[in-house]
Amino acid sequence: MSLNQTSADEAIRAAYPEFTSEERKAFLEPGASIQFESDGKVYYYEGIVRNIRYHNATLSRDFTRTLGESPFFDQVSPYISAPQDEKNPLYHNHTFLATGLLSIARDLLPGNGTLQVWVPLPVSTDSQSDIQVTSVVPEKFVVSGPVTTGEIGEVYLEIPLEEVTDEHVNVSVTVSFTTSPRITKVDPDLVQTYDISGPLYQRYTKSQPNINITPEIIALAKKIIGNETDPYKKARLIYDYIIETLPYSNVPHSYITAMSIPESDFVHNTGFGDCGTQSAYFAALCRASGIPARAPGGYQITPGHEGPHFWAEFYLPENGWIPVDVTIAEAGDWAYNATPGQVKEFKDFYFGNMDPYRFTIQTDMDEPFSGGPDPDIIFTVAYQNPAVVCHSSDADVELIGMSSWSYAFEDEIPDKL
């Protein structure tokens, strides 16, 4: 949130010289961009230029045209209606090798003390299996784990800094895992009723730190679903509402966290949301409608477009967890080379189905690492990066750790995409 009105206007003018001064001014109005007021001055999010593009289909398509590629759409759309056989990469299993590396410059850390590091790992799910952690370095400092079952994958290390004499403190993991596509076929007429007293229903229909159910969200959920009573159809109405009315946006997660704003509240109040925020909002609206829902997270590992990601799931008796990805679905609107029919097919696919290009770390946002790093770190919504704590340091070691981490993925049987 570092731009003032002048610098925000200059950034817009540089990116979009075709806009008039009045058009640029409109983006700086309250509600038209992510902003906050302090001491009588208005500050704007540094991603304002990107968000203008995301919110304008013509600008988005012009951008993908200059790339010569429509990310995500090009990798998935050609295969949705193709034969579901071993030649179709969308419908068969993939085995990946993932290498994670944390490398912190030694001079950024104190001379002694303990560096606590919780490294994220894949967790076993219905669509992620055969997890093999082949290395954790330095192994001698592993305190617990590796853990790849339960709600979150991790390995925990404690590194005595007085023993580190190299130029960097390095922690690495190597892991292989197999992912499966998720294709669901639900007959809404056969959906059974929920056991509302059961632990799953109770857990996934209540508020949590970032999937927050407010009276305003309850009121909107009622407006969206109207008289519909079938949970599958209600979830589809919520899905359509988000992808039709809330275009993808970059959002300032550090600001949201520092201000203790739940992710679902932020998108509800501002209309701006990225994958995590949109997924939390989908889950909140479902929960407000009596549908158990959650927001798993990790990475999307679509070839050529790997990166941190969140998606959503809602639960149906007998059918289990049904996957939903409102964010990737919106990529169809950015595709310069897509027909309206292809865009509809693409969006339909991501309600109830999921591609196999997923690396799941946590089954729901806000799931904590073991050992309770939460009191010592700020960003607890997602663990796509290690949680790093050092009580003997005055520096922001958490932020240093987040910026010093990378995961790289290699498909052991590459697809010819």
Residues 116, 374 contacting (CB under 8 angstroms): no
Query: H or E stretch including 298?
Result: strand 297-300
The mean pLDDT of 185-212, rounded to a whole number, is 93
Residues 155, 119 contacting (CB under 8 angstroms): yes
Q: Both tokens of residue 280?
A: 């939390």
The mean pLDDT of 40-62, rounded to a whole number, is 94
Q: Is the pTM of this model over 0.85?
A: yes
User: What DSSP string runs through 69-131?
Assistant: S-TTHHHHHHHHSS--STT-TTSS-EEEEEEEEEEEEGGGS-SSSEEEEEEEE---BTTEEEE
Residues 235, 324 contacting (CB under 8 angstroms): yes
Residues 148, 385 contacting (CB under 8 angstroms): no
Residue 413 has pLDDT above 70, yes or no: no
Q: Are strands 41-44 and 128-137 parallel, antiparallel or unpaired?
A: unpaired
Instruction: Give me the pLDDT at residue 181, please.
Output: 96
Residue 416 has pLDDT above 70, yes or no: no
Model confidence pLDDT, tens digit, residues 22-46: 999 999 999 999 998 888 889 999 9
Peptide bond into 138 cis (omega under 30): yes
Model confidence pLDDT, tens digit, residues 152-190: 999 999 999 999 999 999 999 999 999 999 999 988 888
Instruction: Give me the pLDDT at residue 238, please.
Output: 98
Residues 314, 238 contacting (CB under 8 angstroms): no
Of the pLDDT bands very low, low, confident and very high (cuts 50, 70, 90), residue 417 is very low
Residue 370 has pLDDT above 60, yes or no: yes
Instruction: Give me the pLDDT at residue 414, please.
Output: 56
Q: Both tokens of residue 402?
A: 């987040």
CA separation for the pair 321, 234 (Å, rounded): 15
